[in-house]
């Protein structure tokens, strides 16, 4: 069986209406992702080209194609990368996975935490589940609520002033408010959960019965 010919790609221009989507394309886009894609086009233009075959069959860039069609219509011309030969169906499948999964790289979360603002990452498309929020915890100033707690413990009677200052601080720094809110949600998840509540209940009964309860960090059977 002969090997497929090697492939080279050339830069060209094509009308959106001439591009033919792949019916078996396994990629999809959510509404919020489409909005960010529109924002990206508006701010930066078409950074990434659309990959096509000799007959204008789309190999990569279906979501960009859909968004641009909605924005500009079929007569709008875009930059494409055209292959020297058509891909087989199996090559098309493999290319799709390679471009979006197999060879796409991964995020360096330490660099993100040290060089990027958490609130902006969340705004630009990351979710809290994707980020290790503990990496940002060390950069956060003390929670204004904790400052008020300390004032109460110390017998400070200026609670109203402390509350007003905390509110002014958060109103003047939305990014700080976002960081503190994110850290607060993470703390709630870690400190107030059913396992912790069960261990605390066991500790109470254990002390009443004179027995030692399991340690809070012990693993269950």
Tell me the three-class secondary structure of 86-112, residue by residue.
CCCHHHHHHHHHHHHHHCCCCCCHHHH
pLDDT computed for residue 91 by the predictor: 94
The angle at the Cα of 161, spanning 160 to 167, to the nearest 5 degrees, equals: 90
**pLDDT for position 180:** 76
Considering only residues 105 and 57, tell me which one the structure prediction assigns the higher pLDDT. Answer: 57
pLDDT at 140: 52
Q: Give me the pLDDT at residue 172, please.
A: 74
Task: Give the number of C-alpha atoms closer than 13 A to the C-alpha of residue 162, restricted to the C-beta side.
Answer: 15
Which residues, including other chains, have CB under 8 Å from residue 50's CB and lie 6 or more apart?
14, 19, 58, 60, 61, 64, 65, 78, 79, 80, 81
Q: What is the DSSP letter of 182?
A: H
Q: What is the pLDDT of residue 113?
A: 86
* Domain 9-102 class, CATH top level: alpha beta
Distance CA 218, CA 82 (A): 59
Counting residues of the chain whose pLDDT is more than 70, the rounded percentage is 77
pLDDT of 43 strictly over 80: yes
Q: What are phi and psi of 50, to 5 degrees?
A: -100, 130
Contact 64, 37 (CB under 8 A): yes
**What is the domain partition of the chain in residue ranges?**
9-102, 111-209
Choice among 70-79, 82-91, 144-153 with the minimum mean pLDDT? 144-153
Q: What is the pLDDT of residues 151-201, one digit of tens each?
A: 555 455 566 676 777 777 777 777 777 777 777 777 777 666 667 777 777
């Amino acid at each position: 069986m002969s090997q497929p010919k090697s492939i080279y790609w050339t830069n060209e221009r094509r009308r959106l209406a001439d591009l033919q989507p792949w019916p078996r394309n396994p990629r999809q886009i959510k509404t919020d992702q489409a909005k960010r894609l529109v924002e990206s086009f508006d701010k930066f233009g078409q950074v990434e080209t659309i990959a096509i075959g000799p007959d204008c069959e789309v190999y990569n860039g279906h979501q960009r194609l859909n968004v641009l069609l909605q924005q500009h219509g079929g007569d709008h011309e875009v930059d494409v990368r055209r292959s020297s030969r058509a891909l087989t169906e199996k090559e098309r499948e493999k290319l799709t996975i390679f471009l979006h999964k197999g060879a796409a790289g991964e995020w360096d979360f330490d660099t993100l935490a040290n060089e990027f603002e958490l609130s902006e990452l969340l705004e630009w498309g990351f979710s809290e589940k994707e980020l290790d929020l503990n990496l940002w915890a060390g950069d956060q100033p003390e929670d204004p609520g904790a400052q008020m707690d300390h004032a109460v413990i110390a017998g400070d009677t200026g609670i109203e002033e402390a509350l007003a200052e905390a509110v002014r601080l958060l109103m003047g720094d939305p990014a700080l408010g976002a960081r503190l809110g994110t850290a607060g949600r993470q703390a709630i998840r870690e400190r107030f959960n059913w396992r912790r509540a069960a261990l605390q209940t066991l500790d109470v009964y254990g002390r009443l019965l004179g027995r030692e309860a399991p340690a809070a960090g012990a693993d269950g059977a």
